[in-house]
Chain A
Amino acid sequence: GAGVSQSPSNKVTEKGKDVELRCDPISGHTALYWYRQSLGQGLEFLIYFQGNSAPDKSGLPSDRFSAERTGGSVSTLTIQRTQQEDSAVYLCASSLGTSGRFTQYFGPGTRLTVL
């Protein structure tokens, strides 16, 4: 595709419900990242996939958060039993690689609101 796409663009849910956020990276990009950004804050790293390697989950804030990447392409971030503090914009990015000038290209994000 032309760029990174994410769906849904907006998600409003009730506390305690599970949500799934989807990311379609740029075709051919082997690296995929999930970030969270609260209003007026910087990017908080969540998880990183590189090719067929085991994902780097070091940024996941709790065991309610999980992510998978199927076939080295599409990724889904799942948040179980959502809490109000989970409200944020969830950004996905992809890159051709992780070294040199390989830059991360971001999707438009999913704005999650937990009531």
Chain B
Amino acid sequence: GQNIDQPTEMTATEGAIVQINCTYQTSGFNGLFWYQQHAGEAPTFLSYNVLDGLEEKGRFSSFLSRSKGYSYLLLKELQMKDSASYLCAVRDSNYQLIWGAGTKLIIKP
């Protein structure tokens, strides 16, 4: 079967750095996405990785290792507004997105 694993919840301090990990086992791989979802709102796109390595976009970076079936989302200079759930999703060989259950990130002052 297909599986995406992420930690259920993480806590970090405002101004700090946090890394959210995602491991996946899917039938084929055609890219990995990270989405942010604030409570009661729809998910919004953060990043896309299809090749190994680090993609940086402002305070957010995403890393991919296809051989290890592993990705992480790195958030720097954390702000209170970063409190949200972060969803990892993998596009499989049928070009369907397989979604993880999400990691709830709690930011403390």
Interface, chain A (partner B; CB < 8 A)? 33, 35, 41-43, 45, 48, 56, 91, 98-101, 103-109
Contact between A42 and B42 (Cβ–Cβ < 8 Å)?
Answer: no
Nearest CB of chain B from residue A96's CB, rounded to whole Å? 13
Contact between B45 and A104 (Cβ–Cβ < 8 Å)?
Answer: yes
Contact of A99 with B102 at beta-carbon distance under 8 Å, contacts A43-B43, A43-B87 already known: no
Nearest CB of chain A from residue B42's CB, rounded to whole Å? 4
Contact of A45 with B100 at beta-carbon distance under 8 Å, contacts A103-B45, A103-B48 already known: no
Q: Which residues of B75-103 have CB atoms within 8 Å of chain A's CB atoms?
A: 87, 89, 91, 94-97, 99-102
Number of interface residues of B (CB under 8 A): 21
Contact between A43 and B48 (Cβ–Cβ < 8 Å)?
Answer: no
8 tightest A-B CB contacts, nearest first = A42-B101, A106-B42, A98-B95, A43-B99, A103-B45, A42-B99, A106-B43, A101-B48
Contact of A107 with B48 at beta-carbon distance under 8 Å, contacts A45-B97, A56-B96 already known: no
Per-position contact with A for B41-53: 1 when CB-CB < 8 Å, else 0?
A: 1111100101000
